[in-house]
Amino acid sequence: MDSESTRKLIEDLSSADPLTRYRAVDALSARREDDFDAVLNLLAQGNPPQRACAAEILGRWRDARAFDRLVAGTQDADVSVRARCVEALGLLDATRAQASLLQAADDPHPEVRAWAVNVLGRLKSAATRAALHAALTDHDGNVRWHAADAIARREGKRAGARLLPLLDDADAGVRALVAELLGRLRVRAAQARLIALLQDPDYQVRWRVADALVALGSQRVGAPLITQLQHADTGVRWRAAYILGKLRSPKALQPLIAALNDADAHVRGRAAEALGSIGDRRALDALRARANDSALAGHLGAVGEIAQAAVEEIEKTK
């Protein structure tokens, strides 16, 4: 063992520079056989940054000899140390650490609770299930986010009923994740709620909702979306056109043709794009009439170019 080198790396774990700390963690992680005892002792005796880094390194090593020390670290006075110990136990042996992880799920600090919930999501016991369900009402959005993600992973479509209320969560990140999860899990009961969320004030939520409605892929959603083509909000109108095109909804043909005359260029562009996806030749005349529309539809380009591309796409079909 190069003791001088080890001492220098251990000192670097206390650096104010994050890059220096990360490099020291990486270097020590590659030296398990030489420096195991030094890192293990550091978890008990180092300063807070050193203890947190030591927990991260021990987690990477996944060495059973570190288990008891990491369990003890979940009670450390420092938040970062507790969080890294929980993370490390998840890598080492989450099943064996279940009791400590359940306790960490009630930690006073949300960072520790979030990590505990993340790890508990990998376990299948009744106790962990109850802890995850309780975390859905945690006052911290990040904890709720991890709880929703974990419940979806372990319960699949059965999680739908518990996730639906979180579409109204105060945290935009939670709303966005839950919309994505409900789409991925094909929870049909979410359709009406998702359509309403096309008006969400957060941009990421609106996009996740649109993608979720596409993922649900049901033509039953077509009729409510067609009504959204008349909404006062331009963002709602063009997202409705986008979804209807992705769904290739034949019932949307005439409403989308009408949307080619929308006052907003982005709506016109999305309507043209959607008509190209649907592929009905009855839209050709209306699309050709837009060939000289030079208004820009966001990153899609000029409306006329989109309309011409749609015409070419339809003409390829038999």
Q: What are phi and psi of 215, to 5 degrees?
A: -65, -35
> What spatial distance separates the first Cα and last Cα of the chain, rounded to whole Å?
74
What is the share, in percent, of the chain residues with pLDDT greater than 70? 98
Task: Average the pLDDT over 36-62 and give the result.
Answer: 94
- 228: pLDDT confidence band, cut at 50, 70 and 90? confident
- 218: pLDDT confidence band, cut at 50, 70 and 90? low
Residue-level pLDDT at 282:
95
- 293: pLDDT confidence band, cut at 50, 70 and 90? very high
Q: Is the pLDDT of residue 158 over 50?
A: yes
Residue 9: what residue type? L
Residue-level pLDDT at 220:
64
Q: What pLDDT, in 10s, does the model give residues 17-26?
A: 999 999 999 9
Least confident of 47-56, 149-158, 165-174, 194-203: 194-203
Buried b (16+ CB within 10 A) or exposed e, 8-30: ebbebbeeeeeeebeebbebbbe
How many CA atoms lie within 13 Å of 273's alpha carbon, on the beta-carbon side?
23
List the structure tokens of 73. Answer: 């670290």
When the pLDDT of each residue in the chain is averaged and rounded to a whole number, the result is 93
Task: Average the pLDDT over 240-268 and give the result.
Answer: 93
Q: Is the pLDDT of residue 66 over 70?
A: yes
- 221: pLDDT confidence band, cut at 50, 70 and 90? low
Q: Is the pLDDT of residue 305 over 70?
A: yes
Domains belonging to the chain, first-starting first, are 1-125 (1.25.10.10)
Residue-level pLDDT at 318:
63
Residue-level pLDDT at 1:
46
- 317: pLDDT confidence band, cut at 50, 70 and 90? confident
Helix axes 32-45, 48-61, angle to 10 degrees: 140
Q: What pLDDT, in 10s, does the model give residues 255-290?
A: 999 999 999 999 999 999 999 999 999 999 999 999
Task: Average the pLDDT over 36-60 and give the result.
Answer: 94
- 120: pLDDT confidence band, cut at 50, 70 and 90? very high
- 219: pLDDT confidence band, cut at 50, 70 and 90? low
Residue-level pLDDT at 250:
85
- 312: pLDDT confidence band, cut at 50, 70 and 90? very high
3-state secondary structure the chain: CCHHHHHHHHHHCCCCCHHHHHHHHHHHHCCHHHHHHHHHHHHHHCCHHHHHHHHHHHHHHCCHHHHHHHHHHCCCCCHHHHHHHHHHHHHHHCCCCHHHHHHHCCCCCHHHHHHHHHHHCCCCCHHHHHHHHHHCCCCCHHHHHHHHHHHHHHHHHHHHHHHHHHHHCCCHHHHHHHHHHHHHCCCHHHHHHHHHHHHCCCHHHHHHHHHHHHHHCCHHHHHHHHHHCCCCCHHHHHHHHHHHHHHCCHHHHHHHHHHCCCCCHHHHHHHHHHHHHHCCHHHHHHHHCCCCCCCECHHHCEHHHHHHHHHHHHHHCC
